[in-house]
Amino acid sequence: MKKIIFTLLILISGILNAQNTAVFEAARTNDLKTIEKFIKEGNDINVLNSSGYSLLILSVYNNNYEVAVYLISQKANLDIQDSSGNSALMGACFKGYSSLAELLLIHQASPDLINYNNANALFFAATFGQVKCAEILLKYKINTQQKDVFGKTALDYAVNQENEAIISLLK
């Protein structure tokens, strides 16, 4: 009997892992129908994959606006962090997806959330030259004086990148 129960548990675990893999691929590829089905079946909207990414982080990082809107409407945790402490907002600012950054901020994502290096989303915008994202973050009153683990601010990174547009925004 114990062997049967153990075998059933392994089978159920395998099915759940396959389902989770499919839903994470759906977040990457903007497959809204799969995401909707996953949520309607009562699954955890804030589940993390084996790499530590949530559905929202993956949808934002892959510029899948429609899936991101749906996940937000279903009360996904906007400030959930991956295994490095990065959030969906940080991902949007890294990639330069200003419409997604604004969407997250409109729905109350924290602009001042920091990752494990003490960097907020402004560090990503400054380091990668994402001027529009920097403007949006400033509109939402992000902490421009935040210092990372190296004692640097986002302005320091903008200066290092010689990005005059961001430097002028942050001065």
Domain boundary among 48, 77, 106: 77
Counting residues of the chain whose pLDDT is more than 70, the rounded percentage is 88
- pTM for this entry: 0.87
Whether residue 84 is contained in a domain is answered as no
Whether residue 92 is contained in a domain is answered as no
The C-alpha atoms of residue 168 and residue 171 are separated, in whole angstroms, by 5
The radius of gyration of the chain's CA atoms, rounded to the nearest angstrom, is: 19
The C-alpha atoms of residue 164 and residue 170 are separated, in whole angstroms, by 10
Over range 160-164, report the average pLDDT. Answer: 95
Q: Which domain holds residue 130?
A: 98-171
Give residue 19's pLDDT. Answer: 45
Query: pLDDT of 43-75, one tens digit each?
Result: 999 999 988 999 999 999 999 999 999 999 999
Give residue 39's pLDDT. Answer: 95
Query: pLDDT of 12-53, one tens digit each?
Result: 333 344 446 899 999 999 999 999 999 999 999 999 998 899
Over range 148-165, report the average pLDDT. Answer: 97
Give residue 20's pLDDT. Answer: 60
- Counting the structural domains of the chain, the total is 2
Residues facing 30 on adjacent strands: none
Over range 114-119, report the average pLDDT. Answer: 97
Whether residue 83 is contained in a domain is answered as no
